Structure 1
């Protein structure tokens, strides 16, 4: 197990951080597309303020015209305090509110060690996600086979990233002394070779076969030459 952690710590995670998160690629790609798309939902009323002076329950993003398309984390936090009205709320009176605590929880779940710049980009794209996903649900796009397959694949991607992150965390707990000890005790597991040239010695049998092949080629060449001369004389 120590060898697996050591290998992943020095090899796989370089590729992992180069590729970053598939989910963030989708997130930022959608942001770029959404800025050019017509009829996009309104931008947030105020950018999220993550300073210590802002209370955890303060609203940092408000999307008007959307009644229920909140992130699951937000819905969970507000479930005990918010009651769904029996009558359908008019769209004009609807709004989705995300508090600072909900936004921070979502940001940390998507991007470990999230930076202020990443939070700013997330705050810009999240209202579009909320509004457009709500509209897609109204059109029944979440009931199609294509949607189900896409969700299934996205789930595999997310679980893969979660597993990689878990292994990285476990590998980080191994003391450097133990890693060095394992390396010294198992040098064969870390050997690398470079092949520049490969020489294959010729055998007497191969030389005889080469001579026979050359003789056959010469014979065929002579026969072709004689046939050509005979054709010219005719």
Structure 2
């Protein structure tokens, strides 16, 4: 819940009642927490019908009272944010008091707005409670997940050649190709690059260096920019589904030509190892938190089934 929506929830009670409650509570003690945090001169329960009375009264919100408000809406609000919130809250109390003087709280729409505010606040509080529960991950939960999903934490040092799917158009941009010519060129270009990927694979198996292979892939594709580095570290979870199989290879193995969204790739495994539990502890914690949150929210959503009258909403 952000501070803006929280503020709306806080000023929902009648301003007269809030002012009376705050004033009465502020006179109950003299501790540090009972010192004023916000003082609003001219706002109090007897100021509704008398301007003279309003000028002689005030509402005092103590530090402890203000802290309870903050705890209810955004406990971790930084000092600067608290000051901004206090200013907005005080302004809102003054405006709410004026609105009551005008009788805005007597309108039928006000009751519906209060009902909606109650639903929104309860819904937000439930989500917050579920999020707090989902974040309570024990060390044993983390260790069990690590043992049962050890393959997820494998890391491989690889060489990779990327072969673009099509060649850059060698024709001047001033030349307008017909749709048929463009389609024919695209088909020929894709087939040429697919053939090049097969050739590069054979050269890789024969022992040629991947840096040289990558340079040739770009040369054939007509790409003038610098070729990318071929050495990289990868994990199973970072690979697209069509390339996950390379994590089953052994050190020294070369993959087949694999599909990539923009072309083809060939991998050579240089080394493989498993990340330690300490290295992935926070990652596992987030995985479990996210899954627990998703499962609990699904349980809540599945507990009831809304249905809409489509004939009504189609109007």
Short-chain TM bin: 0.3 to 0.5
**Would you tell me which structure has more helix in proportion to its own residues?**
1
Q: Taking structure 2 as the reference length, what is the TM-score of the superposition? A: 0.36
Higher relative contact order (CA 8 A, sep 6+): 1
